[in-house]
Amino acid sequence: MRMSKESQLAVTVLMEVGLHEHKGPVSLAAIQSRHDLSTTRLEQIFSKLRRSHLVESTRGPGGGYCLAMASEKISLADIVEAMEPAEPSTGQAQDFLVNDRLWQQLNQKIQHELQRISLRQLLSAQRAEDAKHSRLALQPMGLRAVRPSRPDMPWWPVPSAISAS
């Protein structure tokens, strides 16, 4: 199990779909404008996500992509599996080297952890982060008027941190 750039992009685009889904299907153009990705790349990603039944598409004006199921039912492991399907087992009993068994066990643990993280958890965390940033942007700056150095200059509000000097 590995988290390639393509898997990371798939998580990103699914978060976009999930965050904006209440407005209807999310278009490729909207995602492309926010993340500076080529249309071809996005089409490849959504094609794999659609084949894995993680998204559904709507054609025509106002069309785009929406989640095929509730966000709590989509795990990070599902997304990674959609982008990088597991290699089929040959069915042959092999003598694994210690190193091979170690990596196999590690991959199983990673798979288990990714299975525990749902898209809904990621969306909730992103919404909380967005709310935190919007609250910070709305906080007053603590402006106060400063007497101009010349009489012909108007009074201007200046942030307290600047005018303290």
The pTM score is 0.70
Work out the angle at residue 6's Cα, subtended by the Cα atoms of residues 5 and 9, and round it to the nearest 5 degrees: 85
Break the chain into its structural domains and give their ranges. 1-84
CATH 1.10.10.10 holds for 1-84: yes
Taking only the tens of pLDDT, the chain with its 165 residues reads: 557 899 999 999 999 999 888 888 999 988 998 888 888 999 999 999 999 999 999 998 888 999 999 999 999 999 999 998 766 555 454 555 667 888 888 888 988 999 999 999 999 888 888 888 777 666 665 555 555 565 655 555 545 444 444
Tokens of 139: 């906080």
Q: At a CB cut-off of 8 Å and minimum separation 6, what does 74 contact?
A: 14, 54, 67, 118, 119, 120
